[in-house]
């Protein structure tokens, strides 16, 4: 992190920002002793009240409550350090695990980009126990196989929480423990009997830890924050989110990539573990949503120009609790320049603009990725002809697929054919 200069020797008396992670419960004595030597101390009121009880100091630091605007308080703290002051920032738990330290680091990244002189801030982080570590030790629960999540932002994708055999989740407004449990049960009703542990107010006189089912948490009266641990006992594993039933999506007319076709499209895209996927002409958003659920660290930009279809996409994103898809309402050609650079592009519709969409998509791809590609699906002969004649990229593969699905005919069963689908895979010429 180029904005941070870490002192190699003993702490300097001036011009230093110390960030102390205080763990859970009272501030440790050794931290209190160091903090009281500072010029200024920034913390939430609960931590500040512990410091104000100290007496016998010839010189007491100026105390600053970081609430109600932590970012404003952090800017003031940075300004004081720049003036040569010795400043301390206190955080409960671990400051760098969904704490104020992460906010500080992100803020400094932004400030550094705006500075031409490359001036660095002298800062030192002091580690402390995270709340989930304290909880696991209190109940004797080994946590080396746990997956860690936070839903503090309220916009987390929820499916990965249920897909983990053992998940430890930090909750917070608007997703309180009970609201989160309600959302998880709605997403996967078979999880209602899954065993879990609910913990609130760790390290305080009101500490509460209980083992129950996820449905029990739904009806519990919980506070705004807490830790919810999902255990493997009683869990019904979620299926792979690939080729979900068409009924799982709201869609207009026939603007839906068929269930049997979606896995073919996604396999041609060879989705990266993270990065950016464009879905141009997203229709119902089914390809975007399944790509996002398969790759939770991949970001998807879904572009759709028809307002009614956009409303369907919004509904489908909410019903599947997907947060790593951003919907862009408008014309794909007009919006492409404002989208993040893609690693993959899927074009599900383009009409007369298809050649230009394809050309610009190939030009926008991340050229450092040898697997970067544009995948286009086509049903009509006219679209197929356009794609066969396209010369501004390398046509790596054409797949023509006929699919028939079972359908009743009286007391018998017949195979009913779907539209033949053609899938084209293009790569940029300079990736050859």
Confidence of residue 6 (pLDDT cuts 50, 70, 90): very low
Global confidence as pTM: 0.87
pLDDT at 1 over 50: no
Predicted pLDDT of residue 432? 52
Cis bond upstream, residue 174 (ω within 30): yes
What average pLDDT does range 186-207 have in this prediction? 95
Strands 344-347 and 404-409: unpaired
Tens-digit pLDDT profile for residues 113-159? 555 455 567 899 999 999 999 999 999 999 999 999 999 876 778 99
Tokens 């009286």 sit on residue: 410
Confidence of residue 200 (pLDDT cuts 50, 70, 90): very high
What average pLDDT does range 346-358 have in this prediction? 89
What CA–CA distance (Å, rounded) separates 35 from 38?
5
CA triple 175-181-186, angle to 5 deg: 105
Identify the CA nearest to 321 among candidates 174, 187, 211, 130. Answer: 187
pLDDT at 13 over 50: no
DSSP label at residue 352 = G
What average pLDDT does range 5-9 have in this prediction? 48
Tens-digit pLDDT profile for residues 42-82? 999 989 998 865 545 567 899 999 999 999 999 999 999 98
Predicted pLDDT of residue 122? 84
Predicted pLDDT of residue 52? 66
Identify the CA nearest to 287 among candidates 305, 308, 274, 304. Answer: 304
pLDDT at 165 over 80: yes
Tens-digit pLDDT profile for residues 369-385? 999 999 999 999 999 99
pLDDT at 283 over 60: yes
Tens-digit pLDDT profile for residues 247-281? 999 998 888 999 999 999 999 999 999 999 999 99
Which conformational region is residue 45 in: left (phi greater than 0), alpha (psi within -120 to 50 degrees), or beta? alpha
Tens-digit pLDDT profile for residues 395-411? 999 999 999 999 999 99
What CA–CA distance (Å, rounded) separates 421 from 401?
5
């Amino acid at each position: 992190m180029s904005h941070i200069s870490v002192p190699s020797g003993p702490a300097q008396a001036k011009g230093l920002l110390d960030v102390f992670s205080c763990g859970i419960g009272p501030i440790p004595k050794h931290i209190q002793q160091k903090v009281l030597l500072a010029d200024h101390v920034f913390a939430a009121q609960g931590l500040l009240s512990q410091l104000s009880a100290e007496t016998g100091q010839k010189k007491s630091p100026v105390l600053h409550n970081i609430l109600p605007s932590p970012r404003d308080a952090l800017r003031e703290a940075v300004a004081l350090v720049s003036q040569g002051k010795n400043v301390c920032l206190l955080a409960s738990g671990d400051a760098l695990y969904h704490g104020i330290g992460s906010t500080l680091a992100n803020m400094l990244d932004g400030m550094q980009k705006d500075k031409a002189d490359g001036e660095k801030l002298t800062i030192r982080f002091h580690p402390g126990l995270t709340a989930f570590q304290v909880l696991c030790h209190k109940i004797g629960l080994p946590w080396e196989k746990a997956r860690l999540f936070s839903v503090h932002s309220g916009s987390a994708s929820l499916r990965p929480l249920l897909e983990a055999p053992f998940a430890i989740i930090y909750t917070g407004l608007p997703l309180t423990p009970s609201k989160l449990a309600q959302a998880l049960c709605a997403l996967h009703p078979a999880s209602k009997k899954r065993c879990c542990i609910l913990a609130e107010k760790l390290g305080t006189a009101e500490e509460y830890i209980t083992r129950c089912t996820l449905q029990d948490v739904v009806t519990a009266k919980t506070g705004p924050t807490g830790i919810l641990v999902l255990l493997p006992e009683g869990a019904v594993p979620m299926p792979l989110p690939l080729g979900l039933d068409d009924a799982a999506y709201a869609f207009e007319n026939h603007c839906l990539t068929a269930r049997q076709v979606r896995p073919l499209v996604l396999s041609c895209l060879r989705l990266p573990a993270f990065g950016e996927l464009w879905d141009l002409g997203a229709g119902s958003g089914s390809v975007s949503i399944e790509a996002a659920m398969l790759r939770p660290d991949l970001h998807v930009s879904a572009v759709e120009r028809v307002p009614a279809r956009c409303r369907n996409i919004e509904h489908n994103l909410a019903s599947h609790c997907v947060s790593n898809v951003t919907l862009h309402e408008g014309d794909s050609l007009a919006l492409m320049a404002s989208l993040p650079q893609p690693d993959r592009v899927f074009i599900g519709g383009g009409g007369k603009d298809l050649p230009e969409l394809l050309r610009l998509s190939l030009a926008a791809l991340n050229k450092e990725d040898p697997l970067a590609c544009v995948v286009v699906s086509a049903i009509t002969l006219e679209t197929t002809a356009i794609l066969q004649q396209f010369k501004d990229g390398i046509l790596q593969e054409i797949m023509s697929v006929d699919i028939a699905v079972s359908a009743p005919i009286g007391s018998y069963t017949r195979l009913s054919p779907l539209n033949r689908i053609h899938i084209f895979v293009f790569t940029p010429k300079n990736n050859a």
